[in-house]
């Protein structure tokens, strides 16, 4: 009989603890969401892309109704071989991630400019294609609803 009462008290204690845990537990917050590239493209676009030597510049356009900040760009310099059937042994293609600091208001724009820290390789047997720039990540500030 003593064992039964101990188990009953134990069960009741666990039940009460779980009940308090559910009541006092803070509401779940889903702070981070991963968007597909097409979803990200509906938020940010790259416009007025221009190159001068190794430097690439352009404008980030915020098409969302929310403020965006900490935009991370993926910048790729692709080497095109003169003879793709017999490429060289050393491919000088390079890729970089660049974080553009600053906030972009809804419907606003933010210019960017990127130059690799070391000059791109100069060589024979091919040339660099114009650099490609895409959005790799960003933070969208969504106002809290009360």
Q: Decide if 22 is inside a domain.
A: no
Q: Decide if 124 is inside a domain.
A: yes
**pLDDT tens by residue, 37-72:** 556 667 899 999 999 989 999 999 999 999 999 999
Q: Decide if 25 is inside a domain.
A: no
User: What pTM was computed for the model?
Assistant: 0.71
What angle (nearest 5°) sits at the alpha carbon of residue 63, between those of residues 45 and 49? 25
Model pLDDT, residue 33: 58
Q: Decide if 51 is inside a domain.
A: yes
CB 92 within 8 A of CB 123: yes
DSSP 8-state class, residue 143: P
| Structural domains counted in the chain | 1
Q: Which domain holds residue 111?
A: 37-141
Average pLDDT of the chain is: 82
Q: Decide if 19 is inside a domain.
A: no
What angle (nearest 5°) sits at the alpha carbon of residue 135, between those of residues 133 and 141? 150
Q: Decide if 13 is inside a domain.
A: no
Model pLDDT, residue 1: 47
Q: How far is CA 6 from CA 1, 10, 12, 13, 35, in A?
A: 9, 6, 10, 10, 52
Q: Decide if 11 is inside a domain.
A: no
Cα 6 from chain centre:
54
> For each successive 10 residues of the chain (146 residues), what is the average pLDDT?
57 64 52 59 89 94 94 95 84 93 94 92 87 93 81
The CATH code of the domain that includes 128 is 2.60.40
């Amino acid at each position: 009989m003593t064992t039964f009462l101990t188990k009953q008290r134990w069960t009741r204690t666990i039940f009460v603890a779980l009940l308090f845990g559910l009541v006092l537990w803070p509401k779940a917050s889903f702070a981070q969401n991963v968007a597909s590239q097409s979803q990200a493209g509906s938020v940010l676009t790259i416009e007025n892309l221009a190159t001068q030597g190794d430097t690439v510049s352009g404008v980030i356009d915020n098409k969302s109704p929310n403020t965006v900040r900490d935009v991370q760009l993926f910048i790729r310099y692709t080497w095109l071989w003169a003879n793709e059937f017999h490429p060289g042994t050393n491919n000088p293609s390079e890729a970089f991630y660049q974080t553009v600091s600053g906030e972009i208001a809804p419907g606003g724009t933010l210019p960017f400019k990127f130059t690799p820290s070391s000059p791109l390789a100069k060589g024979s047997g091919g040339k660099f294609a114009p650099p490609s720039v895409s959005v790799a990540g960003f933070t969208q500030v969504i106002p809290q609803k009360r």
